[in-house]
A and B are shown apart, each in its own frame.
Chain A
Amino acid sequence: AQKVTQAQTEISVVEKEDVTLDCVYETRDTTYYLFWYKQPPSGELVFLIRRNSFDEQNEISGRYSWNFQKSTSSFNFTITASQVVDSAVYFCALSEAGNAGNMLTFGGGTRLMVKP
């Protein structure tokens, strides 16, 4: 069975600080996808990144970076020089390639509050 754990339920930082959101996953499949979604206060779910299990290269997109480590089953997300607009709930998710219908299993989310 697949499972995603985001141990940090809430994080509060001051603007311009760096912050890392942790994500640990469990799966028996060797082929799977990992995702991060952002849910700002307006409520929509915004796709940030997808990573497949065969690609352990870290990725950077502007102030966002992701560190995927299969050895520790982790897919952590770092925001550099955080801004107030980064305040949101962030979800990590897992999809096993073998599952019918591309079902996503979400972690419980981490609420990030960036204070000015």
Chain B
Amino acid sequence: DTAVSQTPKYLVTQMGNDKSIKCEQNLGHDTMYWYKQDSKKFLKIMFSYNNKELIINETVPNRFSPKSPDKAHLNLHINSLELGDSAVYFCASSPMNTGELFFGEGSRLTVL
């Protein structure tokens, strides 16, 4: 069983579209995250949720909206996609206060 799973793994879409990436963890962790990895491999935190509540919201455009229906799921919805949104998006989870993140396999988003 995959501990942190993301779908879809690949997503190709046109500018202006709206898309979602789903994430689920079966580790029983309290905290979930979205990280963005750009074409130069830089990894940056976007959001952090703890027990369905938003903890961290780094400087991310309003077009990005995370949704956590329960503590095992953290979905990422992106409106009005732009070319610069092309990246690999990683979901992760961690037990509280350990700092150790378990990452999903990543979702590669390509905006044409």
Please give the residue numbers on chain A whose beta carbons come within 8 Å of chain B beta carbons, in ascending order: 33, 35, 37, 39, 43-45, 47, 50, 89, 91, 95, 97, 100-106, 108-109, 111
Contact = CB atoms under 8 A, between A and B. Distances in A.
Interface of B: 31, 33, 35, 40-45, 48-50, 55-56, 88, 90, 92, 94, 96-103, 105-106, 108
Contact of B99 (A102, A108, A109): A102
Contacts, number: 68
The binding surface of chain B is classed by DSSP as strand
Given A100-B55, A101-B48, 6 more contacts: A33-B98, A44-B105, A50-B100, A100-B50, A102-B101, A111-B41
A97 B98 CA distance: 8
Given A43-B88, A45-B90, A104 B103 contact: no
A44 B106 contact: yes
A47 B100 contact: yes
Nearest to B9: A43
A112 to B, nearest CB: 13
